[in-house]
A and B are shown apart, each in its own frame.
Chain A
Amino acid sequence: MKYARVAFEGSIQEAIVTENNIQLLDGQLVKENEVVWLPPVQPNTIFTLGLNYADHAKELSFSAVQKEPLVFFKGPNTLIGHNGKTVRPNDVTFMHYECELVVVIGRQGKNIKQEEAYDYVRGYTVANDYAFRDYLENYYRPNLRVKNRDAATPIGPWLVDKEDVKDPMNLTLRTFVNGKQTQQGCTGDMLLSIQELIEYLSSFMTLYPGDIILTGTPKGSIDTVVGDEVITEIEGIGRLMNTIISEEALTNFKNE
C-alpha cells in the first residue's frame, strides 16, 4: 500500500493512495488535485549518504574508496512534500538535484546484522536531495550550508510498504528536468547496500521507527535554474515533483 500525509480542507490527514483516489483515514475520498502533499514521514533522525554510487563520486572528483561511509544528518526544516517549491538562492551558480531511494525504518534496533536488516525496514519513498555547490567548504563536508537548507529536500509523494517492493536493490532511478531525462541509474550500483547501511549505522547508534536513510545518488547531476520543474522518479515507488523558484518569488508569495 501507499501511505501519504496530506492537508485537505484545513486538516492534516494520513491517507492511502489508490489508483484513482486518495482515501483519507477519516473516511473521505478525495482527488489528487484537491490535496496538498506533505512529507509522508516525520522522522526524528534523517540519515543521508554521500558518494554512495561510484559513478557519482567520480563525477564530484572524489576517490570512490572511503575509509568510512560518508554519512551526515539533516534537520526537519529540509523536508518538503510532493509538488513543493524549493528556492535557488540568487548567489549560487550550481544547484543540482539528487534522486535518492529513501529507506524508512519500521522497528527499533541496535547492532542489526545484514541478514536481518530488512526486518527493520517499514518501506520506501523517494527524495530529491538538492545541493548548492557554491557553499561547499572542507569542514564536515558536505557542510550544512550546502545540505541543510529549508525545503531543499523534497520527499514523497508517499511511503510504499516494503512488501510491495520486490527487490529494492534493483530499481531504476530517473530524473527529468522540464520533461527531459537528465539522470538515470540503478539502486544495484550503490557502494553500500541497504543491508550494509543498516548494519553500519546500527553498529554505533540505535535506529528508531520513522527514522529515514537517504541512500545516495548516481551520476547525472546538472545545474538547475529558477522555473525548472524537476521530477525524481524511482521504479515501483513513485514520481516526486518539485519546482525551483527564486528568493524573490518566495518573499512575494509570502506577502500576498
Chain B
Amino acid sequence: MQTIYMKLSGVGPLQEGRVDLRKQTIMIGNTTYKADQIPLEIPINGTVYGTLLNYHGAYEQLKPAMNEAPYEKPPKAPILYIKPMNTFAATASSIPCPESAVEIGAALGIVIAKTAKKVSEANALDYIKGYTIANDVSIPHDSVYRPSVKEKARDGFCPIGPWIMDKTAVDNPNNLEVRVLVNGVVKQRSNTNQLIRSVEKLLCDVTEFMTLAKGDVLLVGIPENPPRVKANERVQIEIEKVGTLENTIVTESLPAGGRI
C-alpha cells in the first residue's frame, strides 16, 4: 500500500489515501474501496510545464536537422512549454479530438513540494512531493521552431492524474516503465531510463533559470513515436509504481471533460 494524494469528487481539500496498485483498491481512513468506485478530479492546481526532446529516441529523430535551418545548432538548456489550465482534464473524462487524429504524449509528472530555485542535482529529490501522470496530447506537427500553442494547448489536451503518488513509493524515478494502451492494446512501451536529463538533472537545469512553486508540475518528456488515436478510442497511460490515467477521445463537437 502506498500513500497517494487525490482530489475526491465533492471534497474540497486534497485527500490522503492508500492505494494498492496490484489489487486496484484505495483505502481512505479505515475503509477500502475498489479504485474505480471513487470519482477523482484533477489533483493539480499549479502550473504544468512540459519538456521537449528529453527522451533519447525523440532527440535522435530530430538530431539530423539540428545543425540546419531553422534550428542551426542542438539545444543547450531544457526546452520547456506550458500546458495552460484550459487543457487540464481529470482521469476518466473525455478529450475532444479536433482533427482526424491526435498524438498521445505519455509523461511522468514531477509534483513540486516547495519553492525550487537553483536546486542542486544532489538535493533535487527534497523538492519533490510525488509523481503523477499527464497525457500531453498534441495535434501532430513536425516543426518545433515556434511554440506549438495551437497544437498543444487546446481544451482538454492535458488530462492529469489520477492522483499524486507520494515520492516514497518510487525508489528510482529514472527507471519506470511507461506504457500506452489504446482500446486495451499496448501501443507504446518506454522507460524513464531513456531520459536524457534524469529527474534530478532536469529539476536542477530548469530551476537554474526559473522558479518552480509548490504544486507546480514538471513533465519529464514524451517518448518517441507517440501513438495516434481518433474519436471513440479509449486511452490508458500506465506508469510503473505511479498508476494509470484513462481517458476517452471524443469528437470536437463535444466539450472537454465530462465522464466516460
Q: A residues near B, CB below 8 A?
A: 44-45, 68, 70-77, 110, 135, 137-141, 143-145, 148-150, 204-206, 208
Contacts and interface: CB of A to CB of B under 8 A. Distances in A.
Contacts of B117: 150
Given A74-B82, A75-B210, A138 B72 contact: yes
Contact of B70 (A138, A144, A150): A138
Nearest to B213: A77
A135 B77 CA distance: 9
B47 A76 contact: yes
Interface string B60-81: 0000000000111101110111
A70 B80 contact: no
Nearest to B205: A145
A143 B86 contact: no
Contacts of B72: 138
B154 A205 contact: yes
Interface string B199-241: 0000000000111110010000000000000000000000000
Contacts of A139: 52-53, 71, 75, 79, 144-145
B103 to A, nearest CB: 16
A256 B71 CA distance: 44
Interface residues of B, number: 37
B76 A137 contact: yes
A71 B153 CA distance: 11
A137 B75 contact: yes
B201 to A, nearest CB: 16
A83 to B, nearest CB: 21
Contact of B210 (A45, A71, A73, A148): A148
B79 A135 contact: no
A137 B76 CA distance: 8
Contacts of B153: 73, 204-205
Given A137-B79, A206-B86, A71 B149 contact: yes
B155 interface: yes
Nearest to B212: A77
Contacts of B144: 139-140
A110 B209 CA distance: 34
19 contacts: A70-B146, A71-B150, A73-B147, A75-B47, A75-B49, A75-B210, A77-B211, A110-B155, A137-B76, A138-B145, A139-B52, A143-B79, A144-B80, A144-B209, A145-B77, A150-B117, A205-B87, A205-B155, A208-B85
